Amino acid sequence: MKWLLPFFCGLGASILSAWGVGGGTLLLLIMTLFLGVDQRTAQGINLLFFLPTAAAALVFHWKNGFLDKPTLKRAVPWAIVFALGGAWTATAVDVELLRRPFGVYLLASGISLLWPRKKEPKEPPENDSKKKL
């Protein structure tokens, strides 16, 4: 029966995530505040669940022509550098020192969701495979 609370927490976070709420952020809060999981462990679990989702999204965006290749070529090297730097920082710095900035980030992230910016809809780029039909 110990699995019941984590199961329902994950189920609830996944449902909210499907509605557009940051499910990973919710899972981090649930794991650290209510389930007693260490912050580093919770972040690792969150990353393990995020990677397959991100990989699938990348494949579908690539397939449908929604990736701007020049931007992607410029962004990927920097993303790798900063991901490695963040991973090193997370393991090198004391957890207690990371809690406060992470809490500020979560608070700012939550507040920004209360007042979303309105954007004009953009037309998706034309897919080369559709042109051939």
Q: Tell me what percent of the residues of the chain surpass a pLDDT of 70.
A: 85
**Band of pLDDT at residue 129, cut at 50, 70 and 90:** low
Residue 10 has which token pair? 């994950």
Residues 5-30: what's their mean pLDDT? 75
Q: Tell me what percent of the residues of the chain surpass a pLDDT of 90.
A: 12
Higher per-residue confidence, 22 vs 49:
49
* Pick from 57-61, 101-105, 112-116: least confident: 112-116
Whether residue 78 has pLDDT greater than 80: yes
Give the integer Cα–Cα distance in Å for 84 and 82. Answer: 5
Question: What does pLDDT average to over the chain?
Answer: 80
Residue 34 CA to chain centroid, in angstroms?
Answer: 20
Whether residue 88 has pLDDT greater than 80: yes
User: Which of 73, 55, 69 is closest to 125 using CA atoms?
Assistant: 69
Residues 7-14: what's their mean pLDDT? 78
Provide the 8-state DSSP code for 3. Answer: T
**Band of pLDDT at residue 77, cut at 50, 70 and 90:** very high
Query: What are the residue ranges spanned by the domains of the chain?
Result: 9-114
